[in-house]
Amino acid sequence: GENVEQHPSTLSVQEGDSAVIKCTYSDSASNYFPWYKQELGKGPQLIIDIRSNVGEKKDQRIAVTLNKTAKHFSLHITETQPEDSAVYFCAASSPWNNDMRFGAGTRLTVKP
Amino acid sequence: EPEVTQTPSHQVTQMGQEVILRCVPISNHLYFYWYRQILGQKVEFLVSFYNNEISEKSEIFDDQFSVERPDGSNFTLKIRSTKLEDSAMYFCASSEGGGGAQETQYFGPGTRLLVL
């Protein structure tokens, strides 16, 4: 089955700096890659997703890139703010099954 | 904005007892999911449910687990005989259409289960 690896496990940046979180996946059939933000005591909330027919997607300060050949995708947050502090999870799913596999999560801390 | 709701928010039970976790998915959604998250670890897929039957289940979802859509709104996860290692946060999620796990999933706030 699919295996998603995520790095780093913790990331601390200064407010205004950029943050990058990277994930790799094992199943070449995977074609949907969402990113979730989880704040303390809450469920994961989708912040951006990308499908394998595009290489990059951007939404304001958040962007995701996908390299299908290398089987990795990354989340980029620019101009970070303290409210960006949370745990971020990447995930992957394929059209052949109805499950979604998550990475281990990255705890992002943005210091004011 | 419509949201997924879950009850209870916290549940404490004795080992060997049965628990039922309840979820109300977003009303026009067709796919439903359960995930669990052991404290400090990744979110793990348990099961997906579509058209009143299990669509996919993980290796975690053994005979101790079952899911049901007892009426038009609720989606439940039952653990028949809880074990200490079942202690975790359980999340319900739903997605809108026939794309299954290829579509945006909306997560509920979770139920924290503690097995003593």
Round to whole Å and give the CA distance between B23 and B64: 19
Q: Residue A21 is inside which H or E element, if any?
A: strand A19-25
**pLDDT-derived band at B19, boundaries 50, 70, 90:** very high
SS3 content of chain B, % helix, strand, coil (to 5): 5, 50, 45
Closest residue of chain B to A4, computed from CA coordinates = B42
Angstrom CA distances, B108 to A12, A52, B9, B112, stand at 28, 27, 10, 12
Given a cut of 70, is residue A92 above it in pLDDT? yes
Given a cut of 90, is residue A23 above it in pLDDT? yes
Q: Do B44 and A42 lie within an 8 Å CB cutoff?
A: no
CA distance A80 to chain B (A): 24
Round to whole Å and give the CA distance between B69 and A69: 40
List CB contacts (< 8 A) between B101 and chain A. 32, 93, 97-100
Q: A44 preceded by cis ω (within 30°)?
A: no
Round to whole Å and give the CA distance between B20 and B22: 6
Q: Per residue in B66-100, pLDDT tens?
A: 999 988 789 999 999 999 999 999 999 999 876 66
List CB contacts (< 8 A) between B41 and chain A. 104
Round to whole Å and give the CA distance between A3 and A25: 6
Q: Do A102 and B55 lie within an 8 Å CB cutoff?
A: no
CA distance B40 to chain A (A): 9
Closest residue of chain A to B33, computed from CA coordinates = A99
Percent of chain B whose pLDDT exceeds 70: 97
DSSP string, B43-89: EEEEEEEETTEEEEE-TT--TTEEEE--SSS-EEEEESS--GGG-EE
List CB contacts (< 8 A) between A98 and chain B. 31, 48, 50, 55-56, 100-101
Q: Do A34 and B105 lie within an 8 Å CB cutoff?
A: yes
CA distance A92 to chain B (A): 9
Given a cut of 80, is residue A71 above it in pLDDT? yes
Round to whole Å and give the CA distance between A71 and A59: 22
Q: Do B42 and A34 lie within an 8 Å CB cutoff?
A: no
pLDDT at position B45, please? 92
* Over residues A64-73, mean pLDDT: 94
Higher pLDDT, B97 or A60: A60
β-pairing, A32-38 vs A86-92, is antiparallel
Best of A99, A101, A102 to disrupt the B interface (most B CBs within 10 Å) is: A99
Q: Do A43 and B107 lie within an 8 Å CB cutoff?
A: yes
Nearest to B105 by CA among A78, A66, A89: A89
Q: Please say whether the beta carbons of A60 and A40 come within 8 A.
A: no
pLDDT at position A10, please? 97
